[in-house]
């Protein structure tokens, strides 16, 4: 899909829990939906700002910026690892 601008200022968070199990205590951000290179990482529960969204046939992605993190702090993250409610602390 073609990336589109995200038009919401609602808070969002990185979520390392998938199907009820913690699988990524440290969530990775990637260079693209092909996930060839990790561009940044942050702990589960970190606040993010969504800049772009990309709908794809199998898996959607968000281009995000990690709030309060030193650069590099931006990259693409698969939609299952984004939460619009603050995830429970580990």
Identify the CATH number of the domain in which residue 54 sits: 2.30.30
Coil, strand or helix: which one is 54? strand
Would 88 be classed as within a structural domain? no
CA 68, CA 42: separation in Å to the nearest integer? 11
Q: Where are the beta strands (DSSP E) in the chain?
A: 4-5, 12-14, 17-18, 21-22, 26-30, 38-43, 47-54, 61-66, 74-78, 82-83
The parent domain of residue 12 ranges over: 4-83
Total domains in the fold of the chain: 1
Summarised one tens digit per residue, pLDDT across range 29-68 is: 999 888 899 999 999 999 999 999 999 999 999 999 999 9
Summarised one tens digit per residue, pLDDT across range 10-29 is: 999 999 999 989 999 999 99
In terms of Cα–Cα distance, which of 24, 15, 21 is closest to 88?
15
Would 90 be classed as within a structural domain? no
């Amino acid at each position: 899909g073609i990336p589109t601008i995200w038009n919401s200022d609602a808070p969002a968070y990185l979520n390392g829990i998938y199907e009820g199990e913690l699988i990524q205590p440290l969530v990775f951000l990637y260079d693209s939906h092909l996930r060839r290179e990790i561009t940044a990482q942050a702990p589960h529960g970190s606040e993010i700002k969504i800049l772009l969204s990309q709908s794809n046939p199998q898996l959607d992605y968000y281009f995000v910026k990690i709030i309060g993190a030193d650069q590099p702090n931006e990259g693409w993250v698969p939609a299952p690892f984004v939460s619009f409610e603050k995830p429970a602390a580990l």
